[in-house]
């Protein structure tokens, strides 16, 4: 994030956390609509990235067009993905496998909710559950 990021307030956010707006009977991610107004249409198959790494920012100077693969590569490079390789909390969560199994199987928490608590992704929670659920269910800690 930078000091010149521009934010909206009271906007609906999509499942990925991007501000959404309806314009001309179509739902748009606000960053994509602003890019279109300022720079022209986004080519088919391309996405709008944020140089500031802030998906809530709508400053047109921070928006650029790239391929989905480039956008993912930039996010990984900048440490935006929650993975075991970058996130020390993944190992901490693995140590708490019994608690994670309790949260999932007994407390009926979603994998996403558990991931938010441990600061790890939902797929990492799934990996832990796959690895340890059998132990949890039969009480075998070999």
Q: Cα–Cα distances in Å, from 30 out to 3, 25, 57, 89, 106? A: 20, 14, 9, 32, 40
In a domain, 84, yes or no: no
Which CATH number do you get for residue 25?
Answer: 3.90.75.10
Rounded CA-CA distance 63/73 in Å is: 16
Is 19 strand, coil or helix?
strand
Q: Please tell me whether residues 66 and 100 are part of one structural domain.
A: no
In a domain, 72, yes or no: yes
- pLDDT at site 61: 95
In a domain, 7, yes or no: no
- pLDDT at site 2: 59
Whether 60 and 35 have beta carbons less than 8 Å apart is answered as yes
In a domain, 83, yes or no: no
In a domain, 55, yes or no: yes
Q: Cα–Cα distances in Å, from 134 out to 23, 54, 93, 94, 142? A: 50, 40, 17, 15, 11
| Helix%, strand%, coil% for the chain, nearest 5 | 45, 15, 40
Q: Please tell me whether residues 73 and 93 are part of one structural domain.
A: no
How many separate domains does the chain show?
2
Q: Please tell me whether residues 36 and 69 are part of one structural domain.
A: yes
- Each residue of 52-83: pLDDT tens digit? 888 889 999 999 999 998 888 887 777 676 55
- Point out the domain boundary residue: 55, 77, 99: 77
Domain of residue 102: give its range. 89-135
Greater confidence, 95 or 138? 95
Global pTM value = 0.56
């Amino acid at each position: 994030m930078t000091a010149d990021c521009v934010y909206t307030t009271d906007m609906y956010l999509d499942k990925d956390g991007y501000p959404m707006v309806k314009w001309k009977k179509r739902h748009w991610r606000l960053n994509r609509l602003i890019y279109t107004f300022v720079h022209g249409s986004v080519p088919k198959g391309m996405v709008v990235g944020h140089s500031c790494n802030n998906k809530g920012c709508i400053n047109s100077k921070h928006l650029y067009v790239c391929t989905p693969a480039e956008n993912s590569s930039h996010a990984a490079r900048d440490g935006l993905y929650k993975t075991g390789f970058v996130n020390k909390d993944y190992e901490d969560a693995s140590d708490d496998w019994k608690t994670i199994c309790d949260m999932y199987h007994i407390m009926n928490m979603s994998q996403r909710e558990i991931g938010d608590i441990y600061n790890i992704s939902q797929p990492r929670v799934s990996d832990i559950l796959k690895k340890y659920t059998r132990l949890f269910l039969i009480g075998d800690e070999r």
